[in-house]
Chains A and B, each alone.
Chain A
Amino acid sequence: MNINFTLISQAMAFAIFIWFTVRFVWPPLMRAIENRQKTIADGLAAGERGKRELELASQRSGDVVREAKQRASDIIAQAEKRAAEILDEAKVAAREEGGRILVGAKAEVEQEVFRAKEVLRQQVADLALAGAAKILRREVDEKAHAELLASLKAEL
């Protein structure tokens, strides 16, 4: 254990090694490590952002679906209402039409009845006239009593 010039040489070697590490070893690796840390931090932040955006998007899509469902059910309800209305209107119209047809038919029947009565009356008058003419063949001049006969026919 003797102290000699080795000490000073070793101190110089130490100084050189420290200088070398400070200059060439430490900074590049620290740079690499810090860059990687930054990359990782950025990646994590991006992931976080993506997750948040996904949440928002799913919330938005849920809203859209809910709204669409709401509107679809509104449309269906409206359609049903409209269908019921159309049905009612059709019923009313049919009933009115039926009534009208009935009235028309009744009027026609009455007309027919009237016409038939008229014809019958004509025929009865003709028959009566013919009967009367047969009875009165000789005594009654057709020409002299035509006026009388026509008024009689009109009364029948």
Chain B
Amino acid sequence: MASGTELTPTSYMAHHLTNLTSSIGEGEFWTLHVDTLVMAALTGIISLGFLWWVVRGATSGVPSKRQAFVELAIEFIDNQVKSTFHGDRHAFVAPAALTVFVWVFMMSAMDFLPIDIMAKGYELVGLHNWRSVPTADVNTTFALALSVWFLMIFFNMKVKGVGGWIHELVCSPFGKNPLLWPINILFNLVEYISKPLSHSLRLYGNIYAGEIIFLLLGMWAATGLAGTFFGTLLNAGWAIFHILIVTLQAFIFMMLTVVYLSMAHESH
């Protein structure tokens, strides 16, 4: 909760939804959300570092429980990729999918941290504004979606050649007839614009909305005994439900990544 100033619902919400920014140049664009970057890096390093630590000691004999858990996760993702992508998935697509799933899941899972207790903790180390959930920042989801988008274009050109890709842009999905070219181009344009938007905004919206609900329930909990009781109850319920949402959104984000990349590998 905000220190010092009077506590109103507006200031409470604003406090929790303001990033810690750092300006690195002139203009609005040249700012960094330090909290987003630090939390994203931390979650990524911890989760992928854990995988690396387990994999480094991996045995092809009888696996330990830890290794079995990691293998379970990796094989689950490998199977998902195998059913969608028909190429050498081990070279890039499957590990990329693993990265996306693990990282997005971990970033979104920061939502489970009790929001006000964390804020108090951050306050103690002098961080007034600190958002724990990187995926509730549109910059993160857009960064991921745009990276996938560029990878998609890269693989399109790599697999089909620049000419083949342009041919596909012009001639599919409706046909080769020159009269259909404008419609094809328009159609593909809409597709190429909508892909990163839906990809990123779906994740962002879900996680951001989840955070807002936690905040609203937190506000309710501050309104008296009944509010505290039901606020706590609903908060627990929402947190449990949110486990499903976080997992599901991480899975959807990963699947869309795999689908987009495998579409880039296939010619129509």
List residues of A whose CB falls within 8 A of some B CB.
1-11, 13-15, 17-18, 20-22, 24-36, 39
List residues of B whose CB falls within 8 A of some A CB.
24-25, 28-33, 36-37, 40-41, 44, 48, 51-52, 54-56, 58-61, 63, 67, 70-71, 74-75, 78, 90-92, 94-96, 98-99, 103, 134, 137-140, 142-144, 146-147
Interface centre among B48, B59, B74, B139 (most CB of A within 10 A): B139
25 pairs, A vs B, C-beta closer than 8 Å: A3-B29, A4-B29, A4-B33, A5-B30, A6-B37, A6-B137, A7-B146, A10-B144, A11-B147, A14-B99, A14-B147, A15-B147, A17-B99, A18-B99, A20-B52, A20-B99, A21-B48, A22-B92, A22-B96, A25-B51, A26-B90, A29-B54, A32-B58, A33-B60, A36-B63
Q: For A7, what are the chain B residues with a Cβ–Cβ distance below 8 Å?
A: 139-140, 142-143, 146
Inter-chain CA distance A25–B61, complex, in Å, is 18
17 A-B pairs besides A5-B32, A18-B96, A25-B52 with CB distance below 8 A are A1-B138, A3-B29, A3-B139, A7-B142, A10-B36, A10-B139, A10-B140, A14-B144, A17-B99, A25-B55, A26-B90, A29-B55, A30-B74, A32-B59, A32-B60, A33-B74, A34-B60
Judge whether A4 and B55 touch: CB under 8 Å: no
Interface majority SS on B: helix, strand, loop or mixed?
helix
With contacts A24-B55, A29-B70 taken as known, whether A10 is within 8 angstroms of B98 at the C-beta atoms is no
Judge whether B142 and A3 touch: CB under 8 Å: yes
Judge whether B60 and A39 touch: CB under 8 Å: yes
Q: For A27, what are the chain B residues with a Cβ–Cβ distance below 8 Å?
A: 90
Judge whether A13 and B98 touch: CB under 8 Å: no
